[in-house]
Structure 1
Amino acid sequence: MNQKHQEDLAHIRSMMERSSRFISLSGLSGVFAGLSALIGGLYVYQLFKANGLEYFDGEHKLYSANLVSHLFITAVIVLICAFTFGLLFTIRKSKKYDLPIWTSATKKMLFNLAVPLLAGGIFCLALLYHEIYGLVAPATLIFYGLALINAEKYTFSDIKYLGFCELVLGFISLFYIGYGLVFWIIGFGILHILYGLIMFKKYK
């Protein structure tokens, strides 16, 4: 009888977990988001070389308006690719485990994720407007880390560790202005891939 009660309690806890948290995120989403960032970062590096800029020479660089626009478009494309992969793998996992996607927990998670991201996006646009390009990469990492930490309570708690790593990496990059691309590749590329692989192994 005690075993049956324990099974019932475990089932109730599982139902409560499903109703209060968005648990359809797939580890593969992180992997492919990271791969998208890596490809985007390598493309930007080649773009610098094509414009006669040696990224690692340690000298202050002047970016033309055309190059800045090209970099912005590249960032948007990477973001769209990462979002698309995340959506596809999330839908795939939801169907596999018969989990609903659009729930009250989903709405709360997206809201908590969106507020820091929106604030960070506006802040980065202001940096671009004032041509303070060196702080854009640190700012994206910092606000993204805050967004993940803020959304943690409505999804896998593991996501907060990724958030703290992004936050710390963003703080470090503030003291190495001019190497933002390197930190951006580490944060959005390598960390995402590592996190995605860990999550895939843990929750597959």
Structure 2
Amino acid sequence: MQEKDIYSELSSIRNLMERSSKFISLSGLSGIMAGIYALIGAFVSYKIVYTKHTGLEYRDYYISDPKILWQLFLIALVVLILSLITGIWLTIKQARKKGENFWNPVSKRLLSSLAIPLITGGLFILILLYRGNYSIIASACLLFYGLALIAGSHYTFTDVKWLGICEIALGLLSTLFPGYGIIFWTIGFGILHIVYGSVMHFKYNK
């Protein structure tokens, strides 16, 4: 067997092993769309929380206003639902394009790895809401989301891990500036997602 044939066969074996242990049908476009949804949601939230007279100044009385909190919660929920629907649809489309099954043992392990930190974070945030600790909710969202990405990165592209590290770094930084949660949300869920999605799209989905 020629050296070229050996290299080709080894490459094929490596690809098969990667496909069996990694979910490689993630869509970069879904990350871009999630970022766009987050930017729109952040813009609407900004208009609710801040006024033209205060700019980015800390607004303590808004943070404890139930009406404002419910509006922000609904905006976040709409952004989450749109991101999930778009992400699932584009990922299924990407999987079919590659001739792969979207719902397989690897994708199940990926989802279970993501679910544990996300569910834990969701319950923690509900406790914060119940206890009235509103100032660190944005930080908690970024931190637990970053932890979920790192946990899930074991079953997909390593690029996801770096996104998770950036989200955690932003979450920690956000705890130092609790009055600027919307700004950190905009960076973490908006800008970083668009950058990450663009890299994923041109690196893997072309």
Q: Give the Å deviation of 1:54.
A: 4.2
Larger displacement relative to structure 2 (54-63 or 164-173): 54-63
Match of 1:12 in 2: 13
Match of 1:23 in 2: 24
Q: Give the Å deviation of 1:61.
A: 2.3
Read off the aligned partner of 1:57 and give its amino acid letter.
E
Read off the aligned partner of 2:27 and give its amino acid letter.
S
Q: For 1:1-204, what aligned pairs fall within 5 Å after superposition?
A: 1-49=2-50, 54=54, 56-62=56-62, 63-203=64-204, 204=206
Q: Give the Å deviation of 1:53.
A: 9.0
Which ranges in structure 1 are unaligned for 5 or more consecutive residues? none
DSSP-derived class of the 1:178 partner:
helix
Read off the aligned partner of 1:58 and give its amino acid letter.
Y
Distance 1:53 1:152 in 2: 43
Distance 2:113 2:37 in 1: 24
Read off the aligned partner of 2:99 and give its amino acid letter.
D
Q: Deviations over 1:70-110 (max 9, x none)?
A: 21111111100111111111111112111221111111110
Distance 2:138 2:195 in 1: 20
Distance 2:56 2:18 in 1: 48
TM value normalised by structure 1: 0.94
Distance 1:57 1:178 in 2: 8
DSSP-derived class of the 1:61 partner:
helix
Distance 2:53 2:164 in 1: 32
TM value normalised by structure 2: 0.94
Number of aligned residues: 203
